[in-house]
Amino acid sequence: MRSNPKITIVIVSHNARHYIQDCLESVYHQNYPRQLSKVVLVDNDSSDSTVGFVRESFPWVKVIENRTNRGFAEANNQGYFLALKNKSDYLVLLNQDTIVSREWLRHMVDLAESKPKVAAIQPKLLLHPETNLINSFGNRIHFLGFAYCDKYRRPDRERQTSAFDVPYPSGAACLLKISAIKEVGLLDERLFMYHEDVDLGWRMRLAGYHILLDPLAVVYHKYSFSKAKYKFYYMERNRLVVCLQAYRLATLLLFFPAWLVMELGIIAYAAKNGWLKQKLKGYWWIIGHWPSIFSRRLDYQFKLRRIKDRLIIKLFTGSIEFQEVSYFPLTYVVNPLMRAYLWLAQKIIFW
């Protein structure tokens, strides 16, 4: 166990002037040895004063300035290549709107160093300024690909101090082993934003790694849920892409009836709420990019896979329990039916 591995912290920014000072000041005052932790800000074509402010006020931060918005995935991948150049052992992804606690990185590094088969660790995410409320106590994956924050906006009364398995590490704040990334690959730049962390975590699990949440590592997140139409486009499109690539064919066929019912319901919901065009655009993108989806699927199934779907879906859920998208039919009709469907599928799937 190494006492002080080298870390590269990557913060992707876009018009972050309002957030970035709190974020970088908290990173500066953490208790991990400063000479072993490099901080990289990858700016995605901000139109405000983010880049100039960081260069002037935080000269110890390495700034990569993109002239176009390259998306969350590609910008973090740029940080990964710099981490390789720095010969780092770990890559940390950190959102621009976070504030880290003093001990957060030390806790995660010590935990990762003690567990060779752990590829990623997520801290406990609390809201800010409502620091008594949870942002994420381990994100969850619905078996149809939806992903959401567990225990969102619940009071932080968690007494659990030992780390536990979670389906994937939140891209808002997580520690990733460089050695694991070398094996499973980088963030998928085709996804641009949303679900790239789900995809990465799923690949890590297919390769036989564990992903943990460390309750002792705490990060505060100035999180707000956006209902922008572009967000529904990326979230809906990308969850389908991830499922098509990661599940075995037999699993996809078994889940198809549930998928069809859910898709029809989402299409109706999208039409009612004004983002049907974005939903249909997502289907069209998948059709147009099917060769690359199929190619990655072959890699997932024949190069990466060490673990059966039977074990993967043990961590999945049949419910969507996220306060911002809660409504009567979902809570009292869809969730019970999907929970029953997943329960039956878990009894059937042996592959």
CB 307 within 8 A of CB 238: no
Query: pLDDT digits over 183-230, tens only?
Result: 999 999 999 999 999 999 999 999 999 999 999 999 999 998 777 788
The verdict on residue 275 lying in a domain is: yes
The verdict on residue 181 lying in a domain is: yes
For residue 235, the enclosing domain spans 229-348
Domain shared by 264 and 309, yes or no: yes
Domain shared by 96 and 135, yes or no: yes
State mean pLDDT over 62-78: 97
Cα torsion 154, 341, 301, 350 to 10°: value is 120
Give the Cβ contact number of residue 52 at 10 Å: 12
The verdict on residue 293 lying in a domain is: yes
CA neighbor of 125 nearest in space, from 148, 99, 102: 99
Domain shared by 263 and 186, yes or no: no
The verdict on residue 1 lying in a domain is: no
The verdict on residue 146 lying in a domain is: yes
Report phi then psi at 252, rounded to 5: -60, -40
Q: How far is CA 15 from the centre of its chain?
A: 21
The verdict on residue 340 lying in a domain is: yes
pLDDT band (50, 70, 90) for residue 1: low
Amino acid residing at 175: L
Q: What is the DSSP letter of 208?
A: T
Residue 89 parent element (H or E): none
CA neighbor of 170 nearest in space, from 209, 129, 214: 214
Domain shared by 149 and 181, yes or no: yes
Q: What whole-number distance in Å separates Cα of residue 27 and Cα of residue 230?
A: 31
pLDDT band (50, 70, 90) for residue 147: very high
CB 254 within 8 A of CB 144: no
CA neighbor of 47 nearest in space, from 62, 22, 65, 21: 65
Domain shared by 338 and 295, yes or no: yes
pLDDT at position 39, please?
98
Q: Which of 186, 204, 221 is the last residue before a domain boundary?
A: 221
Q: What is the pTM of this model?
A: 0.95
- Residue 2, pLDDT above cutoff 80: no
pLDDT at position 324, please?
65
The verdict on residue 2 lying in a domain is: no
The verdict on residue 313 lying in a domain is: yes
State mean pLDDT over 163-183: 97
Domain shared by 18 and 94, yes or no: yes
Residue 115 parent element (H or E): none
